Structure 1
Amino acid sequence: MTVTTAPTVKICGLQSVEVLKSIVHLPIAHIGFVFAPSKRRVTPEKAAELIAVLREQGVSGQERPLAVGVFVNPSEEELQGILSVAPLDVVQLHSQETPAFCQWVRATFGVKVCKTVSISKTDASLPTPEAVAAQLDPYIGTIDAVLLDTFDPVYGGGSGKTFAWDCIPVYKDWTRKVGVALWIAGGLQLDNVDQLIETYAPDGVDVSSAVETDGVKDTAKITAFVERVTRK
């Protein structure tokens, strides 16, 4: 199939002011800051510093990237403490958070909410439309995006491994029906993102480990990835 609209790009796990300044001119829609247990975890204070740089370094005529906070089963108190310091635009919830909790987040902080669906790499069975509806219909009206990611037994996601992409269409059908965005994560890199986009046309792609060198975000790799995704 031919894709006429490029998906948006989310670069996740930013920790460096220098790297952020070097990529802010690129057409990146979302910058992710990890608050869940991870080697990429940042403190609320560090995230606030990075978000301030993000907003100061805006490019004329280009919408600034939105700041996304990545959480795994946070408490209300944790979110209140972090968002009182770091002014996030989007809260990404990466585990068993309920629809009521998602709605509370949106109403309390005035942010968008992205709900992650973790998919096992070893699960060969495809979900039915009925199963996806049973899973996600309770979230209608409480979220703004669904992120499909590969399940990780330790952190829930962020494994750097792909899942079975043939399950994407049934989730895409659901997101189209209810009017929310569909983002894809999990093992995306230069040599497979074209196939993902051409075959499944998601609304957004999310990358972290593939744009790192020795565990540190690499400006050249980020630039190459963004250019590959957003080229017309």
Structure 2
Amino acid sequence: MSKVSVKICGLQDVEVLKSMINLPVDHIGFVFAKSKRQITGIQASEMIHWIQNWEGPKKPASVGVFVNPELQELAAVLQEAKLDVVQLHGQESPEFCRSVKQQFAVKVFKVFSVKNDLEEDLSGLDDFSGVLDGLLLDTYDPKYGGGSGQTFDWGRIKPYQTWTKREGIPLIIAGGLNPENVGELLSGFQPDGVDVSSGVETEGVKDIEKIRAFVERVKG
């Protein structure tokens, strides 16, 4: 079985979660940022309860997705939903990421949005050295920052991969992945993890057959 981790993001429904309960999924993502997949801490808490009953090889970690949150907002959500990871999708500083880890005893994943038309400026990456538990690359979306359902130029992965290897943290790829294209990403670029949301939906709703197909392609 492949060691690449799988994150299914944007869960909103306990029934979908129940139907996934025997799949080898590593992370379940809940969106608290403004989005059509946004949920409340109470809704997440109900789904996290089901994660405790997971029948797959191991329980997935629960990940909360936020964009430029205040610490008070995080505190309110984490009081209701016992998240394992806080994923920060905005312009959060290294100092803020460090505060989140210290104050809430959670892991922190930071998302970097890749723009296809510009030379990437990676100079700020070193400021996050020793701070992060994972780095996630997503396609830049001017409206939401990410979650566009579009892929980025995977040729841009390499410098980030060099950095995460040096840091000893996983590099997770998001942005437009689906059961059809994830194999090409894995064989060509060997990321540590993959993150999917709209690519396992049908008409905006999570589709268990697509989720199963995606997990099978990754885990082999």
Q: Secondary structure at the match of 1:64?
A: coil
**What TM-score do the two structures reach when normalised by structure 1?**
0.92
Residue equivalent to 1:24: 21
Give 1:99's match in structure 2, choosing from 83, 94, 97.
94
Mapped to 2, the partners of 1:143 and 1:176 lie a distance apart of 12
Q: Contact 1:118–1:148 (CA<8 Å) still a contact in 2?
A: yes
Q: How does 1:1-232 map to 2 (within 5 A)?
A: 5-55=2-52, 57-59=53-55, 62-123=57-118, 125=119, 127=120, 131-132=121-122, 134-231=123-220
Aligned-residue offset at 1:121:
3.2
Q: Tell me the amino acid that sits aligned with residue 16 of structure 2.
A: V
Runs of at least 5 residues in structure 2 that lack an aligned partner in the other structure: none
Mapped to 2, the partners of 1:10 and 1:187 lie a distance apart of 13
Q: Which 4+ runs in 1 deviate beyond 2 A?
A: none
Aligned-residue offset at 1:5:
4.2
Mapped to 2, the partners of 1:227 and 1:188 lie a distance apart of 14
Please report the RMSD computed on the Cα atoms of aligned residues, expressed in angstroms.
Answer: 1.2
Q: Secondary structure at the match of 2:161?
A: helix
% identical aligned pairs: 53
Output one character per residue of 1:182-213: Cα deviation in whole Å (capped at 9) or x when no partner: 00000001221111000110000000001011
Q: Contact 2:2–2:218 (CA<8 Å) still a contact in 1?
A: no
Mapped to 1, the partners of 2:197 and 2:110 lie a distance apart of 18
Q: Tell me the amino acid that sits aligned with residue 84 of structure 1.
A: Q
Output one character per residue of 1:130-177: Cα deviation in whole Å (capped at 9) or x when no partner: x42x22111112110000000111111000000111010111000001
Mapped to 1, the partners of 2:180 and 2:55 lie a distance apart of 29
Mapped to 2, the partners of 1:5 and 1:48 lie a distance apart of 30
Q: Contact 1:121–1:162 (CA<8 Å) still a contact in 2?
A: no
Task: Work out the number of aligned pairs and report it.
Answer: 220
Runs of at least 5 residues in structure 1 that lack an aligned partner in the other structure: none
Mapped to 1, the partners of 2:2 and 2:54 lie a distance apart of 23
